[in-house]
Amino acid sequence: MADLAICLRGVVKRYGAITAVDGLDLDVPEGTCVGLLGPNGAGKSTTMRLLTAQAIADEGELEVLGFRLPEESKQARAQCGVVPQLDNLDTTLTVEQNLLVFAHLYRIERSKRREAIERALKMSKLVDRRGSRVDKLSGGMRRRLLIARALVHRPRLALLDEPTVGLDPQVRQELWALIDALRTEGTTILMSTHYIEEAQRLADTVLIMSHGSAVAAGPPSELVLEHAGHEVLEVYGPPARLAEVEAEAGAAGMRTRRTGTSISILGVDGTNGFTIDGERRPANLEDVFVLLTGEEIA
Amino acid sequence: MATAEARGARLGRLERSALTGVLVREAVNYSSYWKSSTFSSTVEPTIYLLAFGFGFGSLVSTIGGYDYVDFVGTGTVATAVLFSSAFPAMFGTFVKYQFQRTYDAILAAPVDTEELVTAEALWIATRAGVYGCVPMLVAMVFGLDPSWGMLAVPFIGWVAGFGWACFGISIAGYAKSFENFNYVVSAVLTPLFLLAGSFFPLDNFPQWAQVLANLNPLHHCVVLVRHAVFGSDGWKDLARLGALAVFGLLVWRIAIHAMTRKLID
């Protein structure tokens, strides 16, 4: 079994009466990409903050790259790169100056600093914009710079908190290629996201979180098979008809989920005696996500 | 189970490389705003110097044995130190954690809150030490005689500036909004600034007020600067420097506590 870059056991984090992380267990083997998938408020960002000791757990054990947290968090952070959900670049500095500052903060030796900055610029395709002030960059470029900044010191572990949130599809695809290249190089990645497609494309393993704890974990294809089967029957109609279908499927022991405009009946593989008309489609991770995290908005 | 390779040496507290990292960030940023910062930190005390020096100076030629322009020229050094340390520390710190989220980025690197606060205070103190000299240089243009003791003024400004920077960071750490600063400016900084002995001597104040003045770090800064320029008061000045150092150490620890509460959940 591969060494674990991250190992969390029974981690609890409370904010007053709210339990943001509730007995979370998480394993991230070295060299893999693990996706933390969950709706808003599931505890993903709190988990990320716990991993950099910017939040301190009330209970449980945390180990990052072999270092116990929070006591040895500084050593762990020296070998991690963090891409935050919210842009916190120095906007009045240039692209290159932002990288220079973090080359210092991550303690890159003077003789290797220039090379590290050039490599980060190339990786993020910002070589031509090195002299541009950050407030003159597009949203996509700023995101690429955030990733370059986190990777300037070649970390063993990259923590990406919603790396493509709020970006248009083209920019997201560009960033996916960048993250995929990083994974290919062997960097361990823990990525929180609420974009199902992002998790499905990039993550070797997905951990689905709801209300602060893990409700399922495994490779995306295995999770789909386990919880939603091979095929899903999608039934459209007016609300009254959808309620009837839901009741009928429930009575037949089938699992369903609402999509807003239709009812999805999960795991219809080989259910040939099923009489409801609808469109069959392959089951996907979104089916699993909604099934496990609930249909209601928290 | 967990990876143990490449553990490296255990990292300690207040490491030079962490302090350097934060200081480099400040220095690089300073290159983009040094003009406005220098303007605000030096012009305002200089206006006080000119207004009081020539306003009161036309009515009062000497005060406490000093020429009034010399008296105010040395007194406003402390004002410049205060303006270039407490105020940027309060507002800058608040903006960096609340709006720019700069500290979230720094604390994700191998830097602790203690190092972050210390480096920020060191940087502000250094600027205060330099900016604090401006009123004295302006006073020299208007007749203040140079002396060797003036070389100690940047150091006095640095020590006082460190304390006021930590004071400002502490206030920012406990503040919930910008509006909270109004209470501190009106109820704390303005009285301390006016009752520091910069513009008039405190000798004619009631005895209790003179005793209380010794609790005002700005007053010690004013007196130390005057004595550096016009002649030392020996052990008493050393005691005043010690008082400034104690003030600095106390508010340094308070600033670290305040910012840890603010930045670490």
State the pLDDT at residue B1.
44
Which residues of chain A have a Cβ shorter than 8 Å from any chain B Cβ? 3-5, 7, 13, 15, 30, 46, 49, 52-56, 63, 65-67, 72, 74-75, 77-80, 82, 84, 86, 88-93, 97, 100-102, 104-107, 149, 156
User: Which chain A residue's Cα is nearest to B262?
Assistant: A54
Cα gap B82→B100, rounded to integer Å: 25
Give pLDDT tens digits along chain A (298 positions): 469 999 999 999 999 999 999 999 999 999 999 999 988 888 999 999 999 999 999 999 999 999 999 999 999 999 999 999 889 999 999 999 999 999 999 999 999 999 999 999 998 889 999 999 999 999 889 999 999 999 999 999 999 998 888 778 888 888 888 888 888 888 999 999 888 888 888 899 999 998 899 988 899 888 888 888 888 888 888 888 888 888 888 888 888 888 878 888 888 876 656 677 788 888 888 888 888 887 554 4
User: Which chain B residue's Cα is nearest to A64?
Assistant: B2
Q: What is the pLDDT of residues B115-138, one digit of tens each?
A: 999 999 999 999 999 999 998 988
The DSSP call for residue B202 is: S
The DSSP call for residue B11 is: P
Q: How confident is the model at residue B169 (pLDDT cuts 50, 70, 90)?
A: very high
State the pLDDT at residue A61.
95
- How many other CB atoms sit within 10 Å of the CB of residue A75? 22
From B35, B34, B30, select the one nearest B120 (Cα to Cα): B30
Cα gap B119→B169, rounded to integer Å: 12
Mark yes or no for CB contact A101/B21 under 8 Å. yes
- How many other CB atoms sit within 10 Å of the CB of residue B252? 21
Q: Which of B6, B102, B107 sits opposite A79 (nearest CB)?
A: B6
Name the B residues in 4-63 with CB < 8 Å from any A CB: 4-8, 10-11, 17-18, 20-22, 24-25, 28-29, 32-33
Mark yes or no for CB contact A105/B25 under 8 Å. yes
Name the B residues in 83-102 with CB < 8 Å from any A CB: 100-102
Listed in sequence order, the DSSP H helices in chain B are 16-55, 68-83, 86-94, 102-107, 113-131, 133-141, 153-174, 180-184, 190-194, 207-213, 217-230, 235-263
Mark yes or no for CB contact B28/A156 under 8 Å. no
B164 pLDDT above the threshold of 90: yes
For residue A26, give both structure tokens. Answer: 């998480």
Mark yes or no for CB contact B110/A101 under 8 Å. no
Q: What is the pLDDT of residues B33-74, one digit of tens each?
A: 889 888 877 787 788 778 887 787 778 878 878 888 888 889
Cα gap A94→A121, rounded to integer Å: 12
Name the B residues in 219-238 with CB < 8 Å from any A CB: none
Question: Residue holding tokens 């409801």?
Answer: A276
State the pLDDT at residue A50.
96
Q: How confident is the model at residue B10 (pLDDT cuts 50, 70, 90)?
A: low
Mean pLDDT of the B173-190 span: 91
- CATH superfamily label, A1-79+156-218: P-loop containing nucleotide triphosphate hydrolases (3.40.50.300)
As a whole-number percent, the residues of chain B with pLDDT over 90 amount to 54
State the pLDDT at residue B4.
44
> In chain B, what are the domain boundaries?
33-263
Residue B126, min C-alpha distance to chain A (Å): 20
Mark yes or no for CB contact B24/A4 under 8 Å. no
Give burial (CB, 10 Å; 0-12/13-18/19+) of A261.
Answer: exposed
For A11, phi then psi, to 5°, come to -80, 130
Residues of B in contact with A65 (CB under 8 A): 2-3, 6
Cα gap A76→A6, rounded to integer Å: 10
Which of A56, A68, A74 should one mutate to test binding to chain B, selecting the residue with the greatest count of B CBs within 10 A? A74
Which of B3, B7, B22 should one mutate to test binding to chain A, selecting the residue with the greatest count of A CBs within 10 A? B3
User: Which chain B residue's Cα is nearest to A146?
Assistant: B105
Q: ipTM of this predicted complex?
A: 0.87
Q: What is the pLDDT of residues B236-250, one digit of tens each?
A: 899 999 999 999 999
For B171, phi then psi, to 5°, come to -60, -45
Residue A293, min C-alpha distance to chain B (Å): 26
Q: How confident is the model at residue B6 (pLDDT cuts 50, 70, 90)?
A: low
Mean pLDDT of the B83-108 span: 94
From B105, B85, B102, B82, select the one nearest B94 (Cα to Cα): B102
State the pLDDT at residue B97.
93
State the pLDDT at residue B108.
95
State the pLDDT at residue A96.
96
Q: Do B17 and A107 form a contact (C-beta atoms < 8 A)?
A: yes
> pTM for this one?
0.89
Mark yes or no for CB contact A78/B8 under 8 Å. yes
